[in-house]
Structure 1
Amino acid sequence: MKGLAGVNTIVVIGLGMTGLSVVNHLMRLPQSLTIKVIDTRDNPPGQDQLPESVALCSGQWNTEWLLSADMIIASPGIALATPELVLAAEAGVEIIGDIELFAREVDKPVVAITGSNGKSTVTSLVGEMAKEAGIDVGVGGNIGFAALDMLAQQHQLYVLELSSFQLETTSSLELTAAVYLNLSEDHMDRYPGGLAQYSQAKMRIFDHAKLAVFNRDDLATKPTQFSGSMTSFGFDEQAYGIVLVDGKEWLAVNGEAVMAVADIALVGRHNVANCLAALALADAAGIPRDASCRAMQHYTGLAHRCQLAVNRHGVRWVNDSKATNLASTLAALNGLQLEGKLHLLMGGDSKGAEFSELKPVLADLNVQLYSFGRDRHLFDDVTSNVISVETMSEAMEQVSRTVQSGDMVLLSPACASWDQFANFMARGDAFVEQAIKLQDSVSGNS
């Protein structure tokens, strides 16, 4: 089998959705393999779904298994700098991830998206563009479905969101087109080399791409060494950009107007850039332009991404739980216009980030900041109006006592959720659920 020649014993590191997708994929192959799984959690999710023939070591590492393996397939959450993996690598054991395994098996066109922010929106939008054109498309990777699970469906086109973690263990992914959306500080606890090391991991998306798409307004996304074709997106008239038609902005390709910006269903300036990036990928994948435009006219975005949860008594409760880093929150705040006060909920696991960039942005807003979670103290100095509480629920209770008609309650944490929630989705769902309960206690006229 392509990519696994000479491989007999494979050790999968980490269960959960990704680990199970790897095991299930390997079990589908005609090649006879010995498959073992290591998960350092005592009760790893998905262990009840493992086939009886797959051995599981839980609660600890098994160095003997690692050193005797022909290949190790590590989940993205496991850093390659982990001592046990370093030991195996030094012993000559090949270590890859699920995306590399996907790369060695896929035989249909693939486009991929990376960047610090906007990945999920662009990935989903390209998928909607393909569906609008009647193309059987698989959308996943770091969002939704595991890449290997999609491979079993034999789609005509694959659209992958790829994180820096996934790209670290990917070396042969051939892409019809790849886009690097933007770069901002994130996951600094994983990258001791700082922003440069983080960006270097993301740049791997271009290694075997036919077309590289970068952000003209963030030149850190432009590959410095690339032999294929390149294009870009941005807010001027070049390549995928913006032109004025009768005084109104239009999306354009090489100066040719394609669609009025006012007709885009997504909200926010950052989403105009996301549409341009998606259009570049769709064009490269052969998706008809009219289908792409129809998709942009009806695609309203994903849950937990500036999602209007409740709008009652003149108060809007907005769920932006997906904002797990500062840049995402800044994007949500950019150009925000309110007739009343902004009640901003921030906090959680900072992942080593700092938040001084918020000061000038918040200085221009009528804002009351509520900080919560493990790293809430990091927000003490970003504005003079800070209320610090332990939990998001406490913050929302306090908001409900003072919020008035015309106000917005915005959950845009700028932090990961792991200190108090399983993931950002659970945090967002909790926000929506409590907002619905609280809305009836808010008169909006106090």
Structure 2
Amino acid sequence: MIASAPLEASLVPAGERLVVGLGISGRAVARYLRACGEPFVVVDTRSQPPGLADFRREFPQVELHLGSLSELELTRFVEIVASPGIDLEAAGLGAVRERVIGEMALFARVCRAPVVAITGSNAKSTVTTLVGEMAREAGVDVAVGGNLGDAALDLLLDYPEAALFVLELSSFQLELTPRLGAACAAFLNLSADHLDRHGDMQGYRLAKSRVFEGAAKAVVNAEDRATWPEDPALPCTAFTTEAPGADEWGIATRDGDAWFCHGSQALMPLAALRLSGRHNQANALAALAIGESVGLPLRAMQAVLSRFGGLPHRGEVVAERQGVRWINDSKGTNVGATLAAIAGLGETLDGRLIWLGGGVGKGADFTPLIAPLVRHAREAIVFGEDAPQLESLLQAHLPTQRVATLEEAMRRAAAVAEPGDCVLLSPACASLDQFPNYMARGDAFRAILEQGQEATC
């Protein structure tokens, strides 16, 4: 089925390297280069980056520079390995762009086990986790990470006997990866995000599409042509939440019930899927298509889909009280992610949605939220920095209430919700006005429910 291969010696050109950034990726690159016996220097443009003390303890002999790169002679380095979050121009690396690579370029040079590479604007983590669990269920020695959990190079060092790598990859990681050579490359969906980095949607799409470079097979979204590769020779399998074509993965009716299908073959009833919402049905279909492409048995994939309840902060059902479900989708930090959650859940409810949104909108256009909220929502409750903008946009179309905090939003939701309804925290915004990150926002949502504070006025 899937054969493993040992980690080979470093294939990078001889010479000293510069590692830019002390984040998760930068530290993984440093560990990898040390393990290969390669000389390197580390730089971070911040004067006091997080994790500085830990890095000095782990690498006491490594030359470390903090602050501007202008004091370094960049041409002395044979390669410059930049962390994904680094803006090359702002960091002063534009003039040596031809020397700059990312962590994934190093990974691709030496990894000899098959790689599943998964990208998309939304749902990457859920699909990556599903495929990893499917592989484990099938008895495959699998390593799962990338933009989710452990860095890819850390996986190489920690799991040298891995028979399969399943990696979530961001556009930032892919734009610094010349050729990944994945056994299966999946592009799940595309919606506006990170345009401040990529310039426009085309630039963002091109960065994501690098996942297909050197791939043996591709999995794409039949409902989103932007996810398809430019190379017509690359074998593609598509998934859709509609009735599937001959070699597609989709949903069709059999004897009055909805089933996951591969072409005309019925695989399992939708009712067996533990995850909620149409968007998670799409995630399940993507995982099935990916798993089949690398030889995972259907039995193992069905077992995982029937038990997997979702990742924290990603469509997570936190509570059900008096017939009302409370769902934490705090990871919905952009409009595309929230649209998927609203549409996916709204179509499956007996009642209506009460939507909790707001935070730092990052200049996003919230207009696409209007139509699905009108269709599915009882009320929109908005809070945080961009609440006035959301209120102004939505109040002419559906009942809209502006409050100051998440706790106030939840109290309002408890007051208006009816049996069969769903209270959905999927803010379409970053959390950085009131919380340090989306995880803290989701944790606050859960804590308020656990303490029963949403029911007090």
CA contact (8 A) 1:112 1:162 kept: yes
Alpha-carbon distance in 2 for matches of 1:374, 1:87: 38
SS in 2 for 1:185: coil
Equivalent in 138, 147, 167 of residue 143 of structure 2: 138
How much does 1:401 deviate?
Answer: 5.8
CA contact (8 A) 2:179 2:210 kept: no
How much does 1:46 deviate?
Answer: 4.6
CA contact (8 A) 2:355 2:377 kept: no
Alpha-carbon distance in 1 for matches of 2:422, 2:217: 41
Can you list the C-alpha shifts for 1:79-127, whole angstroms capped at 9, x where unaligned?
23435021332xx5x1111111111121111011111111111111001
How much does 1:63 deviate?
Answer: 4.4
Alpha-carbon distance in 2 for matches of 1:198, 1:275: 25
The aligned residue for residue 21 of structure 2 is: 14
Change (3 A) 1:243 1:340: closer
CA contact (8 A) 2:190 2:227 kept: yes
Change (3 A) 1:418 1:67: farther
Can you list the C-alpha shifts for 1:126-159, whole angstroms capped at 9, x where unaligned?
0111011011111111111111111111211100
Letter in 2 for 1:236: A
Unaligned segments of structure 2, at least 5 residues: 1-8
Alpha-carbon distance in 2 for matches of 1:256, 1:231: 15
Q: How does 1:201-350 map to 2 (within 5 A)?
A: 201-234=207-240, 235-238=242-245, 239=247, 240-334=249-343, 335-336=345-346, 342-350=353-361
Matched, 1:431 2:432: no
Letter in 1 for 2:283: N
How much does 1:332 deviate?
Answer: 1.3
Change (3 A) 1:200 1:23: same
> Which aligned segments of 4 or more residues in structure 1 are displaced greater than 6 angstroms?
none
How much does 1:442 deviate?
Answer: 4.7
Q: How does 1:97-116 map to 2 (within 5 A)?
A: 97-116=102-121
The aligned residue for residue 132 of structure 2 is: 127
Equivalent in 147, 158, 164 of residue 157 of structure 1: 164
Change (3 A) 1:102 1:307: same
Change (3 A) 1:246 1:312: closer
Aligned identity (percent) is: 42
Q: How does 1:88-99 map to 2 (within 5 A)?
A: 88-89=96-97, 92=98, 94-99=99-104
Aligned pairs, number: 437
Length-normalised TM-score, structure 1: 0.91
Matched, 1:82 2:96: no
Alpha-carbon distance in 2 for matches of 1:367, 1:59: 51
The aligned residue for residue 419 of structure 1 is: 433
Alpha-carbon distance in 2 for matches of 1:414, 1:386: 16
Alpha-carbon distance in 2 for matches of 1:299, 1:374: 35
How much does 1:35 deviate?
Answer: 2.6
Letter in 2 for 1:411: L
RMSD: 2.3
Letter in 2 for 1:423: N
How much does 1:220 deviate?
Answer: 1.4
Letter in 1 for 2:13: A
Unaligned segments of structure 1, at least 5 residues: none
CA contact (8 A) 1:189 1:351 kept: no
Can you list the C-alpha shifts for 1:223-242, whole angstroms capped at 9, x where unaligned?
12243322211222212223
